[in-house]
Amino acid sequence: MELTEFVAKYAVERRHTSSVKWDGMQEKYGTNDLLPLWVADTEFKVPEAVTEALQNRIAHGAYGYSLTPESYYEAYFKWQQTRYGTELEHDWLRFGTGVVQSLSTLVTCLTEPGDAVMILQPVYAPFLSVITDNQRIPVISNLKRNGTHYEMDLADIQAKLQAKEVKLLLLCSPHNPVGRVWSSTELADLLEICRQEKVLLVSDEIHHDLIVGKRPFISALSIKEGYYRDNLVMLDSASKTFNLAALQNSHVVIPNPQLRERYDHCVARLHAPSGSLLGQVADEAAYRTGATWLAGMLAVVKHNYEYLKKTLTTAFPQLTVYELEGTYLAWVDLSQVVPVDKLEWVIKHQARLAVDFGEEFGPVGKGFIRINLATPPANIEKAVAALCAAIQA
Ligand SMILES: Cc1ncc(COP(=O)(O)O)c(C=O)c1O
């Protein structure tokens, strides 16, 4: 689908709809009167078939305790298999009400208080809080900057896994906020290190449908034809892809039977939530019918990214817009054009934008901002113009 057709058909006003991004700015930024490019959801309506499926289910009128129908598994597995070659089995799949909920549950169920858990910063903030909030010890390996992209520091990772006796590593793949789609070689190297050091890996693949660069996505489950899959748990959901976060349905994929048993016992003890009826109705319809819609949305993201990168780096060659291989989140280093201690003020009061500030993703993010590109191009044009004027001033 063409970009303009997609925007005309699906862009929707979200102000005054109890949207965190539009109506919840006050709490974080002190005003609701900014252009919001923060929370990672989109300004687009879901595919028509998703709304229809929800309407049909709603029309039934009874919403008691529900099972997941076989048709759901078929739709999800087909999506994974045909788009990414990821082979999944029925027994491996468990449900959550969100990927962060599952990250926290996995930290609780697969480690003990006081155990060390590794993350690669800068990374989505809850990766750190699910560790510290559960009284585990975070071990940080910083990603390495190389020109306009980031890489894993494998030597640092291995040294710290050994020295700190790490039990679990939480990987973001594709990586929010740096926009990397990890290559099969990088994933294989990381998984091999984890195997050698007896560290379990949790791969958060929630952004896996949002591929906008040349590098194809590969799931950790598929590396070396599944050689490492007994040592990992994969998490994903349709919520980022199709703007369904509030319907609260997500996947926990555990191929290893012993690990699954441990997880199941623990989840039973916690009475942790498991999926949601309407989330599953919506997700199934999205997996069945959403490919064309998704192509349209990715065209918008690519266009917005190219525009942002070209305009900002032409105006300010010292500023860095990192390569965007995956996610709809641009990672921009403003440290060479705005004094780091003035950045928040300049963005909020001069540019009047609500973006995520880099330090939310770890201390190495100071001086950076993260910009959500899943919005009509007019918003990105407005934001870039405001940003340029603010930097100039
Ligand atoms: C890497 C990553 N994981 C998880 C989430 C949130 O997922 P959920 O709403 O399913 O908890 C986000 C949202 O931005 C994310 O970027």
Spell out the per-residue pLDDT of the chain, length 393, in tens.
789 999 999 999 999 999 999 999 999 999 999 999 999 999 999 999 999 999 999 999 999 999 999 999 999 999 999 999 999 999 999 999 999 999 999 999 999 999 999 999 999 999 999 999 999 999 999 999 999 999 999 999 999 999 999 999 999 999 999 999 999 999 999 999 999 999 999 999 999 999 999 999 999 999 999 999 999 999 999 999 999 999 999 999 999 999 999 999 999 999 988 889 999 999 999 999 999 999 999 999 999 999 999 999 999 999 999 999 999 999 999 999 999 999 999 999 999 999 999 999 999 999 999 999 999 999 999 999 999 999 998
Q: What atom of ligand 1 comes closest to residue 123's alpha carbon?
A: 1
Residue range 261-318, pLDDT digits in tens: 999 999 999 998 888 999 999 999 999 999 999 999 999 999 999 999 999 999 999 9
Cβ of 172 less than 6 Å from ligand 1: yes
Rounded to an integer, what distance in angstroms lies between the CA atom of residue 171 and that of residue 97?
19
Cβ of 103 less than 6 Å from ligand 1: no
- Taking CA atoms only, the protein residue closest to ligand 1 atom 13 is 40
Rounded to an integer, what distance in angstroms lies between the CA atom of residue 195 and that of residue 188?
10
Q: 129, 135 in Cβ contact below 8 A? A: no
**Pocket perturbation via mutation, ligand 1, pick of 182, 204, 206 by most ligand atoms within 8 A of CB:** 206
Q: 137, 117 in Cβ contact below 8 A? A: yes
How many angstroms separate the alpha carbon of residue 59 from the centre of ligand 1? 30
Q: 103, 134 in Cβ contact below 8 A? A: no
Cβ of 210 less than 6 Å from ligand 1: no
| Domains present along the chain, CATH in parentheses | 3-46+291-392 (3.90.1150.10), 52-289 (3.40.640.10)
* Segments of the chain assigned E as strands: 35-36, 93-96, 116-121, 137-142, 144-146, 149-151, 166-172, 200-204, 232-236, 250-253, 320-321, 329-333, 353-354, 356-357, 368-372
What confidence score (pLDDT) does residue 43 get? 98
Provide the greatest CA pair distance for the chain.
Answer: 60
Question: Using H for helix, E for strand and C for coil, what is the string for 167-208?
Answer: EEEEEECCCCCCCCCCCHHHHHHHHHHHHHCCCEEEEECCCC
- Taking CA atoms only, the protein residue closest to ligand 1 atom 7 is 99
Q: What atom of ligand 1 comes closest to residue 40's alpha carbon?
A: 14
Residue with token string 């201690």: 341
Burial of 8 (0-12, 13-18, 19+ CB in 10 A): exposed
What is residue 127's three-state secondary structure? helix
∠ CA 16-17-20 to the nearest 5 degrees?
95
